[in-house]
């Protein structure tokens, strides 16, 4: 199967002006009601009472449609047929497929249109190998997210959601918190997780967070510092996850849930053996700060 990753995430929000300022300062390029990531994938903001949006799973500002990019039109047609055996689907003129997952989230599949990112050499000096010579290291005055990495949903029935995403949509299992959560990726060779399903504490579905990949860990810190300086509230971070190994910094979003900068996530293939581990602080993070760090003053912003 052939889901490459998140192509678009559509929010329905209470305060459009605030949401626009949030995602612009987050580092996305504004194009009308669309907010572009460097690879051409995007966040879209709409008014929460927009009748064209799928109904919300929860009150207030939240994600209304999760759009996955599929590698080809032929693959899209195959997926439409498979999903159609599980639930009702509607097709758009461009081949797009729309349906609701078992938790009630509006989901769409479209042909992926993402742009290739030019390769960038990250020069890191190690004791064994000096790769950066006569050049200062990278300092980021703000983040410029390159890709939308993953989305996290809290759901009441994990087995039903896992079955749907694996059987109908071809997602692969990466790791599992038994009874508590599953880390999934759209195809064998992909980021450690592109969809993380977490057991909902209150028995209802919720959008939890959307994660944006930045270039390297310096951009997590530099971008996070700049975003915090603009007054946006840290949810947790910076820190480093144990599962998937990435560096992270989460901020609360006025559009619902949180957003995350991350860098240096594990990249898997079909050779990866899924693990089971308890859902505990030790597995959540090697280390994390509860409420951000402050700029010390070394970099002019």
The contact set with Fe ion (CB under 5 A) reads 211, 260
Give whichever of 75 and 158 is closer to Fe ion, judged by the CB atom: 158
Give whichever of 4 and 211 is closer to Fe ion, judged by the CB atom: 211
Give whichever of 99 and 165 is closer to Fe ion, judged by the CB atom: 165
Which residue has its beta carbon closest to Fe ion?
Answer: 211
Give whichever of 98 and 209 is closer to Fe ion, judged by the CB atom: 209
Kindly state the smallest distance separating residue 150's Cβ from Fe ion, in Å. 6
Nearest by Cα to 223 from 146, 122, 130, 113: 146
Kindly state the smallest distance separating residue 193's Cβ from Fe ion, in Å. 8
Q: Are strands 172-177 and 247-252 parallel, antiparallel or unpaired?
A: unpaired
Nearest by Cα to 169 from 108, 124, 106, 242: 108
Kindly state the smallest distance separating residue 29's Cβ from Fe ion, in Å. 22
Q: Please check whether residue 173 is in contact with residue 163, taking contact to mean a CB–CB distance below 8 angstroms.
A: no
Give whichever of 19 and 257 is closer to Fe ion, judged by the CB atom: 257
Kindly state the smallest distance separating residue 196's Cβ from Fe ion, in Å. 7
Kindly state the smallest distance separating residue 260's Cβ from Fe ion, in Å. 5
**Residue 83 host element (H or E):** helix 73-84
Q: Please check whether residue 262 is in contact with residue 210, taking contact to mean a CB–CB distance below 8 angstroms.
A: no
3-state secondary structure of 149: strand
Bridge partners (DSSP) of residue 209 are: 152, 258
3-state secondary structure of 219: helix
């Amino acid at each position: 199967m052939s889901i490459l990753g998140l192509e678009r995430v559509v929010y329905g929000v209470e305060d459009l002006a605030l949401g626009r300022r949030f995602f612009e300062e987050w580092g996305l390029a504004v194009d009308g009601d669309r907010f572009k990531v460097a690879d051409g994938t995007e966040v879209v903001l709409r008014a929460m009472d927009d009748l064209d949006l799928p109904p919300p799973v929860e009150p207030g500002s939240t994600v209304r449609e999760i759009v996955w990019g599929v590698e080809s039109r032929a693959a899209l047609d195959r997926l439409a047929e498979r999903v159609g055996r599980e639930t009702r689907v509607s097709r758009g003129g461009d081949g797009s497929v729309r349906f609701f997952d078992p938790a009630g989230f509006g989901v769409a599949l479209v042909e992926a249109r993402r742009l290739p990112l030019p390769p960038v050499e990250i020069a890191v000096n190690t004791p064994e190998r000096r790769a950066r010579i006569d050049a200062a290291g990278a300092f980021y005055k703000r983040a410029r997210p390159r890709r939308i990495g993953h989305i996290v949903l809290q759901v009441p029935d994990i087995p039903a959601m896992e079955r749907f995403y694996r059987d109908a949509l071809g997602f692969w299992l990466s790791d599992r918190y038994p009874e508590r959560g599953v880390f999934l990726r759209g195809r064998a060779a992909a980021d450690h997780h592109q969809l993380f399903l977490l057991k909902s504490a209150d028995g209802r579905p919720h959008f939890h967070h959307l994660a944006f990949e930045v270039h390297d860990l310096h951009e997590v810190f530099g971008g996070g510092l700049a975003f915090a300086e603009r007054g946006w509230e840290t949810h947790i971070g910076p820190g480093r996850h144990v599962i998937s190994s990435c560096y992270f910094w989460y901020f609360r979003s006025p559009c619902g849930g949180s957003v995350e900068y991350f860098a240096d996530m594990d990249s898997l293939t079909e050779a990866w053996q899924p693990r089971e581990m308890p859902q505990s602080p030790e597995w959540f993070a090697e280390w994390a700060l509860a409420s951000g760090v402050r700029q010390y003053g070394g970099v002019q912003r």
